[in-house]
Structure 1
Amino acid sequence: MEQLTSILTGIGYAFSIMAAAPLVTGIVKATKAGLQNRRGPGILQAYYDLFKLLRKDSVVSPTTSWIFTLAPYIYFAGAFGAAALLVSGNLFMLIYFLAAGRFFLALASLDAGSAFGGMGGSREMFINVLVEPVLLLVMLTVAVRAGSTDLAAMMGAAAANPLSLPYIFAAIAFLIILVAESGRIPVDNPDTHLELTMIHEGMVLEYSGRWLGLIFWASAIKQLVFILLFTTLFVPWQPAELSPAVAGLWGAGKILVTALVLAAIETSTNKMRLFKVPGFMGAAGMLALLALVAQ
């Protein structure tokens, strides 16, 4: 009975993340436009875009196979599953869910036979090879302190000692991972359509309609999942004895601040050349390794 309650709680939490994810994306875009002194989209524009895409049919190339058809659903299911695991799931299961979605989306980019799709897929997997080891090192910093890879136990251990030196190193490394995983400058540019710079956009050029809407929605969910991991594991400060409603508002405030930080990073930096990304992720890896050794 307790396990069933935990599963239902996780599913309900995932639905709430699914509903809020486009809003976070809209806040990042609107903030970035304001920092660049231009009139950008409203914070609800992502909902309008999703509604428009989900109502449209998809145009499919005759050269594609079942992989191209199923990839958007697997990508969305992986992001949804990762969101459900945030309540009381296992760290490695969460990473596996996200990795499975990324793998099938990269495979679908090759399935269409497009040159841009293959280029985007190869670049995505290149960055993934750099990001995942660093992500594991950062998360193991908290897991070692907690003595468990259960996310609930890790969050409890982080809240008990949030200002230690290993956590500060790990927080900086995870912020770099957050930028890379959400496909933002300086690693990627979510707004570009230039063949020399696009990574994630290159993989989804052949998609349209509701399939494209599912991919965009899943990307927003994945971004919010990483923001929640950052705020709960590395910025867990919270005043004592808060009511559930006030605690929820406090958590939403931390998410909002993190979204504003992402927008500020995008505005203040330039797109990095692809061959410089290994050095960027290497710096994050060294910080993660220092955090793990300093335990």
Structure 2
Amino acid sequence: MSALGVLGGVAQPVLLIGGAPLLVGLMRQVRARLEGRVGPGVGQPWRDLRKLFGKEAITPRGTSEMFRLAPLVLMATVLVVATAAPFLVVEPLLRSVADLFVVVALLAFGTATLALAGLDTGTAFGGMGASREMTIIALVEPTLLVAIFALSVRVGSTNLADIVAATLGDPARVVSPVSLLAAVALVVVVVAETGRLPVDNPSTHLELTMVHEAMVLEYAGPDLALVELASSMRLAVFLGLLANLFVPWGIATEAAGTAIPLGVLGAAAVLVLKVGVLGVALAVAEVFLAKLRLFRVPELLAGSFLLALSAVTASFFLA
């Protein structure tokens, strides 16, 4: 366990907790400007969270411990991924947890727990949102696994840190057919996993079209704040993984003495820039996209899976 890994393991979750709501605020502000509105400002998500944390927690009658523990489980899974994945340092603190299958399992576990909480309320909208969410995750998770597995074939390891280090050592991998196919597939995965257009509309107020929001309608106060904070962190995590798996330059690799904090600080600035650019691009694309009908979403996700499968096939032929 190196000093760089320890510092990165502390800095990564702190950066994601503090910056994820600002990322959501930036994306909302970009959309507002493009739609001709003033917008509430980049810091509005943090003001909303502060207000929610100051309110009283309300638990619907008849719910079990699943409803009460779901926000904590969702937050915990995202925090573990934020600590283990190579966002700021190429050798993360929890290297063994940075394996592809462990990271995907943790993210899926948080989503499934929230879906069970939506079912636990016994409401029509909670059950509908949970059913839709599990349908989407059943189609998205294989694509996520296969797309990143395509990158791991040439490396010989499913550890995300090894994949990032291999890309740093061989920049030509970025423009290979394997990386390009996997990148397109992962973009669709990010859109679906984070509930963005055209799969879901995060700003909708129509219950019949909700997916993620329908599951959390019964939450209020600190519980709702945890769900919203964890959701924004999931968006930052997926965008951070997308950035570092394909454009890992700027991540801290080797440092010594007083250079360690400076290296991590520089990596944090580069990560903020890369994730910010991806977030703005996603927000701009949402302005020109309409929400797909629910029965058309599997077609989109099936197409992304085929791209990921093509990336795996290409990785064996072009290895």
TM exceeds 0.5?
yes
Q: Distance in 2 between matches of 1:155 and 1:277?
A: 31
Letter in 2 for 1:141: A
Write out per-residue CA displacement over residues 63-114 of structure 1, whole angstroms, 9 at most, x where no aligned residue. 1111111111001111111111113322211111111111111111111111
1:187 aligns with 2:196: no
Of residues 279, 294, 313, the one that matches 1:274 is 294
| Structure-2 change in CA distance of 1:8 and 1:120 (3 Å) | same
Corresponding residue for 1:138? 147
Does the 8 Å CA contact 1:142/1:157 hold for their aligned counterparts?
no
TM-score w.r.t. structure 2 length? 0.87
- 1:24 deviates by 0.7
Of residues 281, 284, 291, the one that matches 1:261 is 281
Q: Which runs of 5+ in 2 are unaligned?
A: 86-91, 255-261
1:41 aligns with 2:40: yes
Specify the SS of the correspondent of 1:270: coil
Specify the SS of the correspondent of 1:294: helix
Specify the SS of the correspondent of 1:211: helix
Of residues 163, 172, 178, the one that matches 2:175 is 163
- 1:145 deviates by 1.9
- 1:279 deviates by 0.7
When structure 1 is superposed on structure 2, of 178-187 and 3-12 the one drifting more is 3-12
| Structure-2 change in CA distance of 1:126 and 1:72 (3 Å) | same
- 1:193 deviates by 2.1
Corresponding residue for 1:174? 186
Q: Which runs of 5+ in 1 are unaligned?
A: none
Q: Distance in 2 between matches of 1:26 and 1:288?
A: 31
Q: Distance in 2 between matches of 1:185 and 1:78?
A: 24
Letter in 2 for 1:214: L
Corresponding residue for 1:252? 272
- 1:181 deviates by 1.1
Letter in 2 for 1:81: V
- 1:246 deviates by 4.7
Of residues 101, 108, 111, the one that matches 1:99 is 108
- 1:3 deviates by 7.6
| Structure-2 change in CA distance of 1:22 and 1:69 (3 Å) | same
Q: Distance in 2 between matches of 1:146 and 1:35?
A: 42
Letter in 2 for 1:77: A
> How many residues align structurally?
294
Does the 8 Å CA contact 2:125/2:215 hold for their aligned counterparts?
yes
When structure 1 is superposed on structure 2, of 58-67 and 272-281 the one drifting more is 58-67
Of residues 183, 198, 213, the one that matches 1:201 is 213
Of residues 211, 217, 222, the one that matches 2:223 is 211
Write out per-residue CA displacement over residues 214-256 of structure 1, whole angstroms, 9 at most, x where no aligned residue. 00000011110000100001233569x9983555433322111
RMSD over aligned Cα, in angstroms? 2.2
Letter in 2 for 1:180: A
Of residues 127, 139, 148, the one that matches 2:136 is 127
For 1:207-246, what aligned pairs fall within 5 Å after superposition?
207-237=219-249, 244=263, 245-246=265-266
Specify the SS of the correspondent of 1:146: coil
